[in-house]
Structure 1
Amino acid sequence: MQTKELTCIKMCRPAGRLLPVLGAVLLLFVSQQLYAQQHRDEAAAPGLPVKGWRFGLNGGYDLFPDYKNNTPYIDYKGGLNLGVTAGYYWKWFSVGADADYIKNQPVNKYPADAVFDPVNNTMIGDFSLTRAGITRIFYGVGPGMHYTDRQGRFAVELNGRVGLASIKGGALTLTGKSSATEQVLNEHGGYHVNNSLSAKGSLSAHYFFNEKIGVHIGAYYLRHFNAGDAVGTAGYSAAYRAFEPNEEGAFVFMEKNLRTIDKSCACAIASIGGYAGLSFRLPSRRKARPVPPAAPPVAPETCTTCEVYALAVTARDQYTKEVLAETDVIVKDASGNTIRSGVTNAFGVIVFNNITPGNYTINGKLYAVDLKPAQTETTAFISNGTLQKELLYTNADFILKGKAVVCNSVMPLPGATVVLRDRAGAVEKNTQTDKEGAFLFHLKQKSEMILYGKKEKYFSQMVHIKAADYDRNTTLFVKLEMCMEETDCDKAIRLENIHYDLDKYFIREDAKPELNRLVQFMTDNPGVRVELASHTDSRASHTYNQRLSQNRANAARAYLVSRGVAGDRIIAKGYGETQLLNRCADGVNCSEAEHQFNRRTEMKVICPK
Structure 2
Amino acid sequence: MMNNLKNTIKLFVVALVCALSFTSNAQQLENETNYFQLSPRIGYDFPSYNNNTPYIDYKGGLDLGLSLDYYWNTFGLGFDFDYIKNKPESTYPTDNLYDPSGPTLLTNFNLTEDNISRLFFGIGPNVQFRSNSRKFKTEINTRFGIASIKGGRTYLQSTTPVIPLNFHAGYKDSGVFTFKGQVRFTYFLSDNFGINAGAYYMRHFGAKELFDTPLGVSAGYIPIVDGNSANGGPSSDLDFNNAQLREKPCDCDISSVGVFAGITYKFSKKVKEDVCEVCGEDHMPRCCATCGCGVTVTARDKYTSETLPLTDVVLTDLNGNIVQSGITNSYGVVVFNDVAEADYIVKGKLYDVSLEETSITKDEFKACKKDGNSIQKVIEYGDLNFVLKGNVVECNTDKGIQGVDVVLKNTVNPGQKNTLSDAKGDFIFHLKQASIFLLKGNKNGYFSNEVSITTNDYDRNKSLFIDFEMCVNPCGQAIKLDNIIFNLDKWDILPAARPDLDYVVKLMQDNPTISVEMSSHTDSRGSNPYNQTLSQKRAESTINYLMTKGISRARLIARGAGETELLNQCADGATCAENEHTINRRTEFKVICPQ
Tell me the TM-score range normalised by the shorter chain. Answer: 0.5 to 0.7
Q: How far apart are the structure 2 equivalents of 1:415 and 1:104?
A: 68
Give how far 1:53 is off: 4.5
Aligned residue for 1:86? 68
Give how far 1:368 is off: 1.0
Q: Is the alpha carbon distance of 1:69 and 1:383 closer, same or farther for their aligned partners in structure 2, counting shifts above 3 Å?
A: closer
Give how far 1:551 is off: 5.7
Q: How far apart are the structure 1 equivalents of 2:447 and 2:349?
A: 35
Tell me if 1:337 matches 2:337. no
SS of 1:383's equivalent in the other structure is helix
Q: Which of 145, 150, 165 is 1:162 aligned to? A: 145
**Alignment TM-score, normalising by the size of structure 2:** 0.63
Residue pair 2:401, 2:424 contacting (<8 A) in 1 also: yes
SS of 1:262's equivalent in the other structure is strand
Q: Which of 347, 357, 376 is 1:388 aligned to? A: 376
Q: How far apart are the structure 2 equivalents of 1:420 and 1:326?
A: 23
Q: Is the alpha carbon distance of 1:515 and 1:404 closer, same or farther for their aligned partners in structure 2, counting shifts above 3 Å?
A: same
Aligned residue for 1:477? 465
Aligned residue for 2:206? 226
Give how far 1:434 is off: 1.7
Q: Which of 6, 17, 23 is 1:25 aligned to? A: 17
Aligned residue for 2:504? 515
Aligned residue for 2:299? 315
Q: How far apart are the structure 1 equivalents of 2:116 and 2:427?
A: 54
Aligned residue for 1:324? 308
Aligned residue for 1:127? none
Between structure 1 and structure 2, the one with the greater Rg is 2
Matches within 5 A, 1:582-597: 588-589=576-577
Give how far 1:324 is off: 0.8
Matches within 5 A, 1:76-475: 84-88=66-70, 94=77, 96-99=79-82, 139-144=120-125, 159-164=142-147, 166=149, 192-193=170-171, 195=173, 197-200=176-179, 202=181, 212=192, 222-227=202-207, 237=220, 261-263=244-246, 265-269=250-254, 280-283=265-268, 305=289, 308-356=292-340, 358-381=342-365, 382-384=367-369, 385-422=373-410, 426-460=414-448, 463-475=451-463
Gaps of 5+ in 1: 1-7, 39-44, 109-131, 172-186, 243-255, 287-302
Residue pair 1:52, 1:90 contacting (<8 A) in 2 also: no
Which residue identity is paired with 1:383? C
Which residue identity is paired with 1:355? V
Aligned residue for 2:590? 604
1:434-490 deviations in Å (ceiling 9; x for gaps):
222222222233333343433332344765433333332222222233344444x5x
Report how many aligned residue pairs link the two structures: 509
SS of 2:461's equivalent in the other structure is coil
Residue pair 2:33, 2:71 contacting (<8 A) in 1 also: no
Gaps of 5+ in 2: 92-112, 155-164, 226-238, 272-286
Q: How far apart are the structure 2 equivalents of 1:451 and 1:274?
A: 55
Q: Structure with the greater relative contact order (CA < 8 A, sep ≥ 6): 1 or 2?
A: 1
Q: How far apart are the structure 2 equivalents of 1:16 and 1:148?
A: 24
Residue pair 1:28, 1:156 contacting (<8 A) in 2 also: no
Q: How far apart are the structure 2 equivalents of 1:277 and 1:415?
A: 57
Q: How far apart are the structure 1 equivalents of 2:531 and 2:223?
A: 67
Residue pair 1:56, 1:280 contacting (<8 A) in 2 also: no
Which residue identity is paired with 1:198? F
CA RMSD of aligned residues (A): 6.0
Q: Is the alpha carbon distance of 1:332 and 1:531 closer, same or farther for their aligned partners in structure 2, counting shifts above 3 Å?
A: same
Q: Is the alpha carbon distance of 1:413 and 1:105 closer, same or farther for their aligned partners in structure 2, counting shifts above 3 Å?
A: farther
Residue pair 2:139, 2:185 contacting (<8 A) in 1 also: yes
Q: How far apart are the structure 2 equivalents of 1:453 and 1:240?
A: 76
Q: Is the alpha carbon distance of 1:570 and 1:474 closer, same or farther for their aligned partners in structure 2, counting shifts above 3 Å?
A: same
Q: How far apart are the structure 1 equivalents of 2:60 and 2:504?
A: 56
Q: Is the alpha carbon distance of 1:312 and 1:572 closer, same or farther for their aligned partners in structure 2, counting shifts above 3 Å?
A: same
Q: How far apart are the structure 1 equivalents of 2:584 and 2:326?
A: 58
Residue pair 2:116, 2:151 contacting (<8 A) in 1 also: yes
Q: Is the alpha carbon distance of 1:459 and 1:161 closer, same or farther for their aligned partners in structure 2, counting shifts above 3 Å?
A: same
Q: How far apart are the structure 2 equivalents of 1:79 and 1:604?
A: 72
Q: How far apart are the structure 2 equivalents of 1:29 and 1:378?
A: 36
Q: Is the alpha carbon distance of 1:399 and 1:530 closer, same or farther for their aligned partners in structure 2, counting shifts above 3 Å?
A: same
Residue pair 1:81, 1:101 contacting (<8 A) in 2 also: yes
Give how far 1:322 is off: 0.9
Give how far 1:162 is off: 1.4
Q: Is the alpha carbon distance of 1:574 and 1:311 closer, same or farther for their aligned partners in structure 2, counting shifts above 3 Å?
A: same
After the TM superposition, which of the residue ranges 15-24 and 347-356 deviates more from structure 2? Answer: 15-24
Residue pair 1:505, 1:548 contacting (<8 A) in 2 also: no
Give how far 1:414 is off: 2.3
Which residue identity is paired with 1:26? C
Q: How far apart are the structure 1 equivalents of 2:42 and 2:17?
A: 18
After the TM superposition, which of the residue ranges 50-59 and 448-457 deviates more from structure 2? Answer: 50-59
Which residue identity is paired with 1:29? S
Residue pair 2:41, 2:260 contacting (<8 A) in 1 also: no
Aligned residue for 1:248? none
**Alignment TM-score, normalising by the size of structure 1:** 0.61
After the TM superposition, which of the residue ranges 546-555 and 207-216 deviates more from structure 2? Answer: 207-216
Give how far 1:323 is off: 0.8
1:534-580 deviations in Å (ceiling 9; x for gaps):
45789999999878865654454356557776534432234567655
Which residue identity is paired with 1:572? A
Which residue identity is paired with 2:298? T
Q: Is the alpha carbon distance of 1:280 and 1:476 closer, same or farther for their aligned partners in structure 2, counting shifts above 3 Å?
A: farther
Residue pair 2:304, 2:463 contacting (<8 A) in 1 also: yes
SS of 1:225's equivalent in the other structure is strand
Q: How far apart are the structure 1 equivalents of 2:240 and 2:534?
A: 74
